[in-house]
Amino acid sequence: MQTPPQTPPRMNATEQAYQAIRKEILTGRLEEGERLTETRLSDDLGMSRTPIREAIGRLILEGFVERQGGYTTRVAHFPEDEAEQVYEIRRLVECYSVQRAAKLATEEDIAALREIHAQMRRDTPPGDEAAYERLTSANEAFHRTIVAAARSPRLTALMTTALDVGMVVRTYSMFSARDLERSLAHHAEIIEAIEARAPDWAASVMSAHLLAGAWRVSVRSGGRRTEGEKADD
């Protein structure tokens, strides 16, 4: 069984470039403020400048990259309270989404959510790096699916920005086993609320879910990113 709302990974060069550059930024290999040049990137990634340009354009719209003056392109600077802001915004958008989803979700949507959830459950004992990768991307898929289930193309477009940015936070806060357990409980309850067609219930859980994440982040980092402190205990 597959997850229908997910884009089948038909990766053209532009998409590849986008994913690659974004990942470099999210993992911190490309540092804040670092200068990007299309030529160097096209060399590094082994493709021409055209797909690089398109990828960078997208990253600029999403706020990961910024132009400075006419001819310099830099990795965007993320302010101290970035994480809190992101969670605040996500809370706005996703609570609304899940309310709509509770009214409009189809059986397929719910099945997809269940599937993702089961997948995350299986990966729960977090050990290796790969499992962590799968968990975070599954988590992202979960939230994306909910937004998609809200059946509002505008919300979906919005989430392209907001959720991607949410991943910035990923580097800041790694799941602890206990946090992960709670996240999964939240997810399960959200699914239940959607199935029950209970918008307010769903929204409340989502709100808690994201506030818990925000709090975890702010505590972990004390407002500052503490490099290398992967709390995957």
Residues that bind a second copy (CB under 8 A): 50, 53-54, 57-58, 61-63, 76, 79, 82, 85-86, 88-89, 92-93, 96, 152-158, 160-162, 165
Q: Verify binding: residue 36, DNA, rule CB under 7 A.
A: yes
Closest CB to DNA among residues 68, 226? 68
Question: Which of a second copy, DNA, none sits in contact with 69, Cβ below 5 to 8 A by type?
Answer: DNA
DSSP string, the chain: ---TTSPP----HHHHHHHHHHHHHHHTSSPTT-EE-HHHHHHHHTS-HHHHHHHHHHHHHHTSEEEETTTEEEEPPPPTTHHHHHHHHHHHHHHHHHHHHHHH--HHHHHHHHHHHHHHHHT-S--SHHHHHHHHHHHHHHHHHHHHHTT-HHHHHHHHHHHHHHHHHHHH-PPPHHHHHHHHHHHHHHHHHHHTT-HHHHHHHHHHHHHHHHHHHHHHHTTS--TT-----
Instruction: Return the range that interacts with DNA (CB under 7 A); candidates 20-28, 38-46, 110-118, 176-184.
Output: 38-46
Q: Verify binding: residue 13, DNA, rule CB under 7 A.
A: yes
Question: Which of a second copy, DNA, none sits in contact with 88, Cβ below 5 to 8 A by type?
Answer: a second copy
Q: Verify binding: residue 47, DNA, rule CB under 7 A.
A: yes
Closest CB to a second copy among residues 18, 201? 18
Which of 28, 31, 67, 122: binder of DNA (CB under 7 A)?
67
- Which positions touch DNA (CB under 7 A)? 12-14, 36-40, 47-51, 53-54, 67-73
